[in-house]
Structure 1
Amino acid sequence: MLSVPRMRILLELRRHGTLAEVAYILNYTPSAISQQLSALEAETHVALTERVGRGLRLTRQGEILANHAEIVIAQLEQAEAELAASLGEVGGRMRIACFQSVLLTLVPETLTLLAQRFPELQIEVTQYDEPDAVGGLLSHEYDLILGEEYPGQPIRGSAGIEWDLLTLDPLRAALPMSGPWSDPRAVLAGLASAPWVLENESSAFGRWAIALMQEQGFTPHVPFVSTDILLHLHLVETGHAVALVPDLLWLSQTPRVRLVPLPGNPQRRLLTGVRDGSGGHPAIVALRQALRDVTDELHHRANSPAAPPV
């Protein structure tokens, strides 16, 4: 019988390409990972990897076994989920990872709702910058992650993950309330010379933002680069920059910037992701439902007649 932990090491090697990365993810030493791969090759009587430069890649036989490893591990995840569901209880520990706008807006009320519904369920939350969360989910560091997709920027590295749409989130330009960059008629091409605050182009948001502006005929001047959406807003509020922001931020606070629609009215897709096979776990079902309920309630409040216009 082949060793499932060793098959998982092979699968992680296919995802990451180096012993050092696999060792870091699985909390082993590189030499221990190498020994486990050698033992797996002894079990199968075939070479499963070959060296390419400083990394390793799977042989044809290694790819075959890794494909089966995905199926086996997903099946075990499903078995654990069904066992937990059979107990009829929601408890234990759930570790989630999310980006800043979700952490600011959705997570606090979700935690409150879950504490009311399932007091035995413990939630741990980590803020992340992409692509950390995908690797953390697949390596069992997290149980559920929040992901975001921008137009033309699908989530990367999502093999082995079940994604579920949480909501669609419109994106707008954020301008200062006064000053040279406050005219809403300037969006978007009229802001070609404005100072922008954006995320780095290595992020999905940064790539999308740059592509959007290039479609409008200009490459933005970006003196401020940060993943901190609160810093983006502060720079806009104080008149030092303009930005692109999601409507999600305004579901729980009043805008202090001028919000203007963008060409084509783009939206990002907010998703929840779990490992293949684990979606039926009662704690994950409860967590996803609470996120949906909170999102719907916040949208309802924001769209009520008493709510300030966005």
Structure 2
Amino acid sequence: MNDVARPFELRRLRLLHEFAQRGTIAEVAAATSYSPSTVSQQLDILAREAGTALLERDGRRVRLTEAGRTLARHAARMLELDEAAHAELAASRGAPTVVRIAVMPTAAQALVPRALGLLDEREPTLRLESVEMSPEEGLRELATRAFDLVVAEQYPGHAREFREGFDRVLLGPDPVRLAIGPDDPARDIAELADRPWILEPRGTAVRDWAVQQCRAAGFDPDVRFEGTDLTTHIRMAAAGRAVAMLPDMVWTGDRATVRLIDLPGAPVREIFAAVRTSSRDSRAITAVQTALRDALAAHRPR
């Protein structure tokens, strides 16, 4: 009699999926609250169940084997089915539908409060949970199923990588302008070559794009200040201490403390929502997307 293959344990498949997304045992351990030794042990057990090696040495690191990549793809689909089953059962017993989103800081301030108001009217049983997070981190966590939707942005000529298994929905445009002190006489970006600048940290898409705008105007910006909190950028510009390059979405209140200058070509960044392809037909996620899009359309900086 042939041996019957034992079913894979979902918990171990989830660890394999996490490794496929994160790339190291240490990162999987940090994300799942297991110790690294426990993660390694569980993946070793999964390999014995699979009857083949799932990880192999690559110098000082480990990576997935071809069999590991194959099983990781199947693990992603199994996790999708598990997620869908839990969602349907929750709906059948009348439990509130929960949608978890990761939102970049400007959207968290400008869009989420208004979107919540719209959802209260349209989907009163829906529970929206939001975490403020950079687009780079949010998109990675979307793949690990930590979130159902991520609000992110991309700049002209700096499109974000398209990842298999993700769908994007455009929420709308967001103009980007220069912000300078109210008494600064500059009229365009070329006249700001000798000013100190405040930009976001190196390695971010917005930093790379902002530097390119300056180079197109004939200079490299003198970046003396860095920060992820755009409130700091606003205050530095308002004090006349630095030039900032800011999206209109940041202006949720009075912006009379700075003077705004249009960039050449009046560029806009695209605000989009990313979801897993497996959940794009979810009524709840679609409702959240629509509320965020309507919130952006209604945003009128003052």
TM range, normalised to the smaller chain? 0.7 to 0.9
Cα distance change on mapping 1:13 and 1:240 into 2, 3 Å: same
Farther off after superposition, 192-201 or 71-80: 71-80
What code does the residue aligned with 1:183 have?
Answer: A
Q: Give the equivalent residue in structure 2 for 1:59.
A: 65
Q: Equivalences for 1:105-116 in 2 at 5 Å?
A: 105-116=110-121
2:192 aligned with 1:191, yes or no? yes
Q: Give the equivalent residue in structure 2 for 1:153.
A: 158
Residues 19 and 33 of structure 1 are in contact (CA less than 8 Å); yes or no, is this contact kept in structure 2?
A: yes
SS at match of 1:21: helix
- Paired residue for 2:147, among 142, 149, 160? 142
Shift, 1:89, TM fit: 7.1
Query: Could you tell me the TM-score, scaled by structure 2's length?
Result: 0.87
The Cα offsets for residues 207-257 of structure 1, whole Å up to 9 and x where unpaired, read as 11112222332111011100111111111111111111112234x434222
Query: Could you tell me the TM-score, scaled by structure 1's length?
Result: 0.85
- C-alpha separation between the residues in 2 aligned to 1:91 and 1:36? 33
SS at match of 2:52: coil
Farther off after superposition, 169-178 or 290-299: 290-299
Cα distance change on mapping 1:233 and 1:287 into 2, 3 Å: same
Q: Give the equivalent residue in structure 2 for 1:305.
A: none
SS at match of 2:299: helix
Q: Give the equivalent residue in structure 1 for 2:53.
A: 47
- Paired residue for 1:165, among 170, 177, 180? 170
Q: Give the equivalent residue in structure 1 for 2:260.
A: 259
- Paired residue for 1:127, among 132, 145, 158? 132
Unaligned runs of 5+ in 1: 303-307
Residues 199 and 223 of structure 2 are in contact (CA less than 8 Å); yes or no, is this contact kept in structure 1?
A: yes
Unaligned runs of 5+ in 2: 1-6
SS at match of 2:278: coil
Identity within the alignment, %: 36
Q: Give the equivalent residue in structure 1 for 2:3.
A: none
- C-alpha separation between the residues in 2 aligned to 1:280 and 1:137? 16
Residues 135 and 150 of structure 2 are in contact (CA less than 8 Å); yes or no, is this contact kept in structure 1?
A: no
SS at match of 1:131: helix
- C-alpha separation between the residues in 2 aligned to 1:226 and 1:206? 10
The Cα offsets for residues 95-123 of structure 1, whole Å up to 9 and x where unpaired, read as 22212211121111111222233333222
Shift, 1:175, TM fit: 1.7
SS at match of 2:228: coil
Cα distance change on mapping 1:200 and 1:272 into 2, 3 Å: same
- Paired residue for 2:79, among 73, 80, 93? 73
The Cα offsets for residues 253-286 of structure 1, whole Å up to 9 and x where unpaired, read as 3422222221232221111122331222232122
- Paired residue for 2:35, among 19, 29, 34? 29
Residues 169 and 267 of structure 1 are in contact (CA less than 8 Å); yes or no, is this contact kept in structure 2?
A: yes
- C-alpha separation between the residues in 2 aligned to 1:130 and 1:147? 5
